[in-house]
Structure formats: C-alpha cells, structure tokens
Amino acid sequence: MLNGGGGGRSNLPIIDYRSYRYAPRTVPLDAGHHTFVVQERLRSANGDADNMVILADSGHGRFELEHGVVADSINQMDRWLTALHASPNRSHRATMDTKPADLVDACWTSAGRKIVEPQT
C-alpha cells in the first residue's frame, strides 16, 4: 500500500537515485527494478509518472553528500520543494509546474559524463 502510486503520490516530488558499480566481480545484487515498479505504479494510478526523476550513477563519485550527483540531487529537490511550497496549489499540475527544468532523467558514465535520457 505504501508504494501504490495513488493516495496523493502524484503530488509528491520524487527523485530516485541509484548508484551502481559495474566492474567485474563487484556487481551488487541489483534492486534497480524497484525504481521501475514504482514508476509503473505511478503511471497506473495517475496516468503518468512525470513527478518522478530517475538518476542512475555508475558509482564514479560514490554516495557523497558534499559534492557530485547526490549533492546536486539534494539541491534540486530543495529547489523543487521550495517552489512547490510557495505555490498556492497542491496538485499534480503544481508539482510539475514547479519542477526545475534541468531536473530530468539521466545516468552517468564511469568517467563522470552525464547522459540525459529516459531511464529504462
């Protein structure tokens, strides 16, 4: 029930960040399918999953709060929540209207190059 996609979830800003290290013998158990389960539940319940952004990091910068992909994600979420809080509406449309334009699905290469594209 908590991950159902309905119950107001279409109004929540969601950033799904996953860090992977695909080097020989270091591949962790991949739970990335949960990203797409939640995305599909949002689509099923709300017609789209546009309030969810998927960021897949190759692990080049590791999970560091001070800089890199994670720090940028936190700053982006702060911008999104601040704009949404200032909005008089609490709707899916308001959530989408306040989403930072540069906050989009992306992945990063092991060299740290950002590739902007829908995650599948």
Residue 96 confidence (pLDDT): 95
Do residues 8 and 43 lie in contact, with contact meaning Cβ atoms separated by under 8 Å?
Answer: no
> Which one-letter DSSP state was computed for residue 19?
E
Q: Where are the domains of the chain?
A: 9-108
22 token code pair: 């695909």
Helix or strand or coil: residue 76? helix
pTM across the whole model: 0.84
54 sits in which H/E element: strand 52-57
Residue 43 exposed, middle or buried by CB count within 10 Å (0-12, 13-18, 19+) = middle
Where residue 108 falls among pLDDT bands split at 50, 70, 90?
confident
